[in-house]
Amino acid sequence: MSATRMMILGLVQWMQPVHGYDVRRELLSWSADKWANVQPGSIYHALRKLADEELLREVATEQVGSRPARTTYEITEKGAAEFTSLLRGNWWSIATPPDPFMAAFSFLPAMPRTEAAAALRNRATQLGAGNEQLRAAISADWARDKPPFVTWMWELSMERSEAEIRWCGRIAELIESGESYLPANSGAKGPPPTE
């Protein structure tokens, strides 16, 4: 939640006064749902919660025709301080998000070798497809209206994916070659490798 909290506070500060719809649209245009785990459905709830905590202030609520009411928000002094604290904390620390793949990979010996190698190659293919989507987004006309740092974030994501693609290929080859999963004299207990 701290990344979502920081991003919403930052966007309200940047765009204020701003409707929740515009905050949501901006976050989705950055693909923040993919790299920051900002869930589109949680944005309105987060805005209301931040207002309840007096980090945001509701400026106005308007309704046009039969559309749902739109609330306009501004950041409070307390919210600006919270944003700065979260921003600096995230800039100066390294956090590895939980990755279900890493949990599954820790049970590599429980997978048949052919399936494990195929899954790694499939993962590399999916990562490559994601990179192609990002390359297309970077070269799209609408991306020219975004700040350059949005493109830089996408480039970082692509670089990370490229490193993982190479790793997947290398480990798939080791698995296919029959490389042992556990050292012979380690005494480590684990499920016997499945062939």
Question: What single-letter DSSP state applies at residue 194?
Answer: B
Q: What is the pLDDT of residues 34-93, one digit of tens each?
A: 666 677 677 888 888 999 999 999 888 877 777 777 888 999 999 999 999 999 988 898
Q: What is the pLDDT of residues 4-43, one digit of tens each?
A: 888 889 889 988 888 888 888 887 777 676 666 677 677 8
CA distance 37 to 43: 11
Query: If we measure between CA atoms, which residue out of 166, 131, 141 comes closest to residue 35?
Result: 131
CA distance 28 to 49: 20
Q: What is the pLDDT of residues 120-134, one digit of tens each?
A: 999 999 999 999 988
CA distance 103 to 109: 13
What pTM did the predictor assign?
0.68
pLDDT at 192 over 80: no
